[in-house]
Structure 1
Amino acid sequence: MTTQTAVLHDVRVTYGSGDRRLVALDDVSVAFERGTFSAVMGPSGSGKSTLLHCAAGLERPAAGSVTVDGVVLDDLTEDRLTRLRRDRIGFVFQAFNLVSALTAEQNVSLPARLAGRRPKAADVAAALAEVGLADRRQHRPSELSGGEQQRVAVARALLSRPAVVFADEPTGALDSVTSRQILDLLRRLVDEHGQTVVMVTHDPVAAARADRILFLADGRIVDDVRPALSPERIAARTARLVEQSC
């Protein structure tokens, strides 16, 4: 079994044409190893979310190749790509994306049900227990705190036991205490369960919890740091990138 969960090779993404053409990713190559926690940082517009969306199969690049869990995404039909995302990829959004009328356990099982599958109640319960919400499974989002809602979103991403979990600013809408709880959860999933996590963040404190930090600027990886730096050094590095991009 390969040690690489997700691989991008010479990935290029462009938007617009002519004078308005924007290169969002400029021939980016990077591999994410199994059982590691990677953070992706950079100034606004540097290509962070685009990299994450390409790696997760949510966006097709104009050129280059993307492989997830040994499967090359490039030539997959939309149907096969949807199945692969459903079965092998977990995605956590900043905005939680929960359905207000559904309970926590219903939200966790919703993607599988939309795909025509009936997840086992024990599996749904185990996913919620994994994120510390075993006793909140019958609560609706309005009855949960922001941190609890994000934990439901993490449980939903974990239900299929994915090869990799991609998280796009997972703590961006949370206060510092709740953010730390979510980061503790992601760190524990990596350390205790060998989960692969790739997280886009603007927060130096969040990035410092990772094993590795990728810094992007103008659609290119300009630094790849292992192990992660202190929050202060991360903030200083990001500030220099912002200055250079102005």
Structure 2
Amino acid sequence: MKHNHAVDLRSVTKTYGSVTALDDVTVGFETGSFTAVMGPSGSGKSTLLHCAAGLDRPNSGTVTLDGADLGTMSERELTLLRRNTVGFVFQSFNLLPALTAEQNVELPFRLAGRRPDRREIRRALLDVGLEGRERHLPGQLSGGQQQRVAIARALVTRPSVLFADEPTGALDSTTSRQVLSLLRGLVAAHGQTIIMVTHDPVAASFADRVLFFADGRPTGVLDHPTPDAVAARMSRLEAAPC
């Protein structure tokens, strides 16, 4: 069944000194699915994202991303895999202020030493609803538009998996919904696999399922989430004794 999973973690443990961030975690993320990861602060959700994306190596266990066993790869191989197979979107947009939207989206090609394909750049900006804004600098764009540029940059290399860490954390509720609808549409239209860490029940409701974390371990899954159902589950998790 592993061919149906874009990302697989098997018996993954990650510690930082005496703190166990991930405790023998086994979980898979299906290709073409949109999963939200939620949990109280310090539950291990960001560590899960970092290990799944090859940004951090676990102490034990295996992580498989797009069929590749990350534990067998050198740092250089991991860098190339992340560049070619993974897209990242963060709460901070991480755009270079002196570059236009178009030039920011070109960055992954330039970092890889490849000539940017103008049509690919334009299509990526069109896909996120920024046609006509190609020459605008980040300072000339709203927060939501800047996050759309960041999403276009993450997707321009056609990654197998898009990892999003609180992608709407810096946006107002209306803009958040627009960005989340965009992500939802990418799953529907292109079969994009998205794994998103969020603390927001409304954001989580755009996903196919929510994976809940507490104390470094998965504590349950909610399919077809609604904001109310997510909020209720989170309230129980945060009220649970440590």
Shorter chain as denominator, the TM-score bin is: over 0.9
CA distance in 1 between counterparts of 2:174 and 2:162 reads: 22
Equivalent position of 1:239 in the other structure: 235
Give the 3-state SS of the residue equivalent to 1:28 in structure 2. Answer: strand
Task: Give me the TM-score of the superposition, normalised by structure 1.
Answer: 0.96
Equivalent position of 2:163 in the other structure: 166
1:187 is the counterpart of 2:184? yes
1:24 is the counterpart of 2:24? no
Matches within 5 A, 1:18-57: 21-57=18-54
1:203 is the counterpart of 2:237? no
8 Å CA contact 1:104, 1:140 repeated in 2: yes
Q: After the TM superposition, which parts of structure 1 deviate over 3 Å for at least 4 consecutive aligned residues?
A: none
CA distance in 1 between counterparts of 2:101 and 2:176 reads: 20
Identity of aligned residues (%): 61
Instruction: After TM superposition, give the deviation of residue 126 of structure 1 in Å.
Output: 0.7
8 Å CA contact 1:104, 1:137 repeated in 2: yes
Taking only aligned residues, the RMSD between alpha carbons, in angstroms, comes to 1.1
Instruction: After TM superposition, give the deviation of residue 43 of structure 1 in Å.
Output: 0.2
Deviations 1:17-70, CA, capped at 9 Å, x for gaps: xxxx00000011111111111000000000111101111111111111111111
Instruction: After TM superposition, give the deviation of residue 111 of structure 1 in Å.
Output: 2.3
Equivalent position of 2:118 in the other structure: 121
Task: Give me the TM-score of the superposition, normalised by structure 2.
Answer: 0.97
Paired amino acid for 1:227 = H
Paired amino acid for 1:196 = T
CA distance in 2 between counterparts of 1:207 and 1:78 reads: 33
Instruction: After TM superposition, give the deviation of residue 245 of structure 1 in Å.
Output: 4.5
Matches within 5 A, 1:60-71: 60-71=57-68
Instruction: After TM superposition, give the deviation of residue 227 of structure 1 in Å.
Output: 2.5
Equivalent position of 1:223 in the other structure: 220
Equivalent position of 2:7 in the other structure: 6
CA distance in 1 between counterparts of 2:240 and 2:115 reads: 51
Runs of 5+ unmatched residues, structure 1: none
Aligned residues: 241
